[in-house]
Chain A
């Protein structure tokens, strides 16, 4: 076989092979662009919507035996638009003038809540290890091989055809009809659209129904490519497809199609040639093994960081926003001294009571849960710094925490360094990684920053963890990522009680550091920046330094927290603790409960560890009703309800960026304050 002919044949095969996955990316990128164009929402919940339709199709067709067409109609053309209409009516209609970042947080909340809501409502459990059937009769069994190098099955052909036809139809819709124009107009200013005599509510309802139908259709079409039906897979696909969508600056449908196909081709061709080269050059082999699964995320990150046009576009603001009343001021922070004294006393009393109950009565399980709550509070303080203070959405806090955990595992378990020193080192490494990462991504800002950090988290997940100098490699597979507890002089923290004390001490120290940071120059600069970057720059405040400090601090805190958690569990447990999708929930729970204050982070930590046993399983009630000896299982509610609950609470972020609980508390304290002032 001559070299050149072989090369072209390989290239051709690679391109053909890359077409079906490329079509998957294209379908999702198209839907993503469609939603963004017609509703202005950077809809990370697109994957959740796609998952719901795919699951519904599976349920009706495979489990209930409905004919394929009926299952398709119900899942993609009835359920999907219905969900879109409900979301529009209940949530997004009221957020049309909210900022892009707060809409993103709402979408993240939805992407956590929706799949679980569906699973609970439809009694559906994730399916794994079986072929998911597509929409074509015998779709996976009949093959066509037009060129004699790669065989397409029917489902793949259907998917590619739908992607192509959808692009043409949607492009025509936008080019030749007024409804497309009206949708774009509504995104910019619903009021101006109204002044043009167009009913903006109806237009945005149509837009959501349309884009959600597309999400549903995409979900049903791409499901056969997996041999499982799990919502996180769909979430991941959406993240990858953002790269394809970004190529068209989120507004061009044809470019999204090409971007998706291009991504598929690139990955397939790369996978065809890399093994051949690394056959000759062995030094390429580790790259081959680690790079291929992560290629989509590398491409995504590269597109975000290198594509100059991204992050440049200004958000078009509603020219008629002057009709809105000014946003309600955050309820007063100025408090009557009596009230402050009272809340402080109450806080101290509450902690004393809880502390003594835990100290004297808690068994092993409860000691463990409370320690987890304290440690999670430390980790959540990192979200307080980056999101509450700097106003940035970082979705790689789990990665920073994992860096802390892995450092301590490497240093203490393998190199016998003192555990506490290793924990500090872990925080330092995380801070360094955070600072380096912040350099390219901070330019992006807003929504793109969130996506870039998510890409980094997935990259770490797919590549870095596999390296033996990070995740321990094959030894870790055999022995686990063991982490010892510290031993300081006479105190052995192997005892759970002693370790709880250590965790509390760390929490107190980190809280003080965060408060100092907020009150200091960096905190004030960040507050000024959150108001208006342009205005801040015009009075000589530089964004970059303060943001880098915030990013590094936040990473350090997360790293320290991750190290503590690993010590606590005596294992890093990367995928259950720190995986990218798990860490998504961190953001959700913190913004739901209060991202601006230390208290908010502590509430979130407590909620993370204790909400499920105390409230969902009814242990608190059981303790009161039945006494200590008959705790477990008053109501056996599924733990995933907490995803639903906090996901839905995070939706409030757009209206109350200080967090729902915080908002309620501030309102109440303002009222008491008024009352006290009147008394005087």
Chain B
């Protein structure tokens, strides 16, 4: 079976600035991959390319073995590749419920909308209490919950999650990872960018280390810890 996501020699950047220098990475159906790297290594850029937000300047992105000619995020979503971007990614002028409805309507249809909303509010009861509030006025953590609720309820085929736990209280982080584990069991593949490396490696099968826009190590998640330590120390000494 073709991998659900495949990057082949992807180079990408912003205007004249290049952030990725020929990255190749695959995610098999049902697999969970952790993407690890220092600040500014290019993790977010890779996630953006993988979800069609950013067009690669060279190389190809394949979903289910077919190349995505134009980078159009909505096409990726329709094939089941969903991206929860870094930071406060909500529509600040829409209400909590409208934010959710926008995604759920497409994913579940008009009939499934109410059920999906209910599941979202079960997952994050705080959102349920604030369903009519304008999303821009939610607290930072609540906004994170909102953007997570959007992707977690849906159980897509591949979830690309960029810094999920940033700005959430430890208890909520645990709960988010529990939910991730659950949708994983249900068959969702994961590509996870996370600063809390321990949490991520626990959940994932495989890890990839990104340094200065290049993947420098790939391997099973269990051995990632040791590899990472040695790399960190050696590169740390080199600098």
Contact = CB atoms under 8 A, between A and B. Distances in A.
Contact of B15 (A194, A195, A316, A326): A326
A196 interface: yes
Residue of A185, A196, A199, A319 most packed against chain B (CB within 10 A): A196
Contact of B102 (A178, A199, A316, A326): A178
Interface stretch (B69-77, B123-131, B213-221, B229-237): B69-77
A196 B77 contact: yes
A198 B106 contact: yes
A193 interface: yes
Nearest to B52: A194
A316 B93 contact: yes
A181 B101 contact: yes
Contacts of B89: 192, 195, 319-320
A324 interface: yes
A199 B102 CA distance: 12
B90 A182 contact: no
Nearest to B113: A178
Given A320-B53, A325-B14, A328-B15, A195 B92 contact: no
A319 to B, nearest CB: 5
B24 interface: no
Given A194-B52, A196-B77, A319 B17 contact: no
Contacts of A322: 86-87
B77 A194 contact: yes
Interface residues of A, number: 26
B26 interface: no
Interface string B89-110: 1111110001001110111000
A322 B163 CA distance: 15
A184 interface: yes
Residue of A197, A324, A326 most packed against chain B (CB within 10 A): A197
B136 A198 contact: no
A323 B105 CA distance: 26
Contacts, number: 86
Contacts of A316: 92-93, 136
B51 interface: yes
Contacts of A198: 74, 102, 106
A196 B106 contact: yes
B54 interface: yes
Contacts of B94: 181, 184-185, 188
Interface residues of B, number: 36
Given A185-B94, A188-B92, A320-B85, A194 B73 contact: yes
Contact of A200 (B16, B74, B98): B74
Interface string A608-643: 000000000000000000000000000000000000
Contact of A323 (B53, B88, B103, B106): B53
A196 B53 contact: no
Nearest to B100: A196
Contacts of B48: 323
A325 B88 CA distance: 19
A192 B86 CA distance: 12
A196 B92 CA distance: 15
Residue of A192, A198, A322 most packed against chain B (CB within 10 A): A192
21 contacts: A178-B101, A178-B102, A184-B93, A184-B94, A188-B92, A188-B93, A188-B94, A195-B51, A196-B102, A197-B103, A198-B102, A199-B72, A316-B92, A319-B85, A319-B89, A323-B14, A323-B54, A324-B14, A325-B14, A325-B16, A326-B14
Given A196-B74, A198-B74, 16 more contacts: A178-B105, A181-B94, A184-B94, A188-B94, A194-B74, A194-B77, A195-B53, A195-B73, A198-B102, A200-B74, A320-B85, A322-B86, A323-B14, A325-B13, A326-B14, A328-B15
| 9 shortest interchain CB distances as A-B pairs | A325-B15, A194-B73, A197-B77, A325-B14, A196-B103, A197-B106, A194-B74, A199-B74, A316-B92
Interface of A: 178, 181-182, 184-185, 188-189, 191-200, 316, 319-320, 322-326, 328
